[in-house]
């Protein structure tokens, strides 16, 4: 197998980002204080806003550690995005094909990101119960 040169890899990564027509935000829970009973108060804060590629294909079931997870969508992200996601993180899609959505779609993250040579792929579950951010 012929190794990929640094220049080719940089070109692949640039092409990947250029092929992401959507805009998303990554939201992470952070502690913002404590309530009168001493319990932590948490809220979602935006840790990334930028290019992404949403694949909102049909739902599918995925076996993960003996549990069945329903995947509603996948999102591609640039490698520059940190990849320490957990199931409390949220992805908010604000623009589809460079057009702002009237109401953003909010997804929870399922599992660990798949890391390729030019980007990350996350499996997502649509939040429909009003508990989104």
Q: Would you state the structure tokens that stand for residue 14, as one six-digit string?
A: 């640039």
Domains and CATH numbers, the chain: 6-126 (2.40.10.270)
> Over the stretch 37-90, which tens digit does the pLDDT of each residue have?
999 999 999 999 999 999 987 666 556 555 666 788 999 998 888 768 888 999
* Residues 23 and 92: beta-carbon distance below 8 Å: no
> Over the stretch 91-126, which tens digit does the pLDDT of each residue have?
999 999 999 999 999 999 988 889 888 789 999 999
Give this prediction's pTM: 0.78
Q: Given this model, what pLDDT does residue 79 score? A: 87
């Amino acid at each position: 197998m012929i190794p990929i040169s640094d220049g080719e890899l940089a070109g692949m990564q640039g092409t990947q980002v250029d092929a992401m027509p959507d805009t998303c935000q990554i939201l992470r829970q952070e502690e913002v204080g404590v309530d009168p009973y001493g319990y932590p108060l948490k809220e979602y804060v935006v840790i990334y806003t930028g290019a992404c590629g949403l694949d909102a294909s049909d739902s599918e079931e995925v076996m993960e550690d003996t549990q069945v997870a329903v995947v509603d969508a996948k999102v591609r992200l640039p490698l520059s995005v940190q990849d320490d996601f957990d199931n409390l993180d949220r992805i908010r899609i604000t623009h589809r094909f460079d057009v702002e959505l009237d109401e953003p779609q909010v997804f929870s993250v399922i599992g660990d990101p798949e890391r390729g040579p030019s980007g990350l792929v996350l499996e997502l579950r649509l939040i429909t119960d009003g508990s989104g951010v």
